[in-house]
Amino acid sequence: MKINAIDESGKLKEYDVILTYHSDEYNKDYIVYTDNIYNSNNELQVYINEYNKDSVEDTVKDITDTNEYNKIKSDIDSVLVNMKNESDILNNSE
């Protein structure tokens, strides 16, 4: 799945979606996506934003509350670690 969003320089850019996530705590949906660029630590650059699939104009919004962002990032990090661990188990059993 791909999405279009405005990058830091104000240009419309296409991104690859990694996952979407719903938080019952905040009753919001979030999206994790990437431009497939690696940072100086050779880590894939990913972005996390609030996601509203029903809005044409405001599909992706910044998470402005620091506590909310940190909680969502922690939740998503846990999901990604679990996905990696499950993938490793599957690959090792082949």
pLDDT tens-place string over residues 28-81: 999 999 999 998 999 888 999 998 878 766 678 899 999 999 999 999 888 888
Full residue range of the structural domain in which residue 36 is found: 2-92
Rounded Cα gap, residues 34 and 3, in angstroms: 10
Domain tally, the chain: 1
Q: What is the pTM of this model?
A: 0.77
Closest listed residue to residue 17, CA positions, set 39, 37, 36, 34: 34
Please give the Cα distance from 77 to 81 (Å, whole number): 6
The amino acid at 80: L
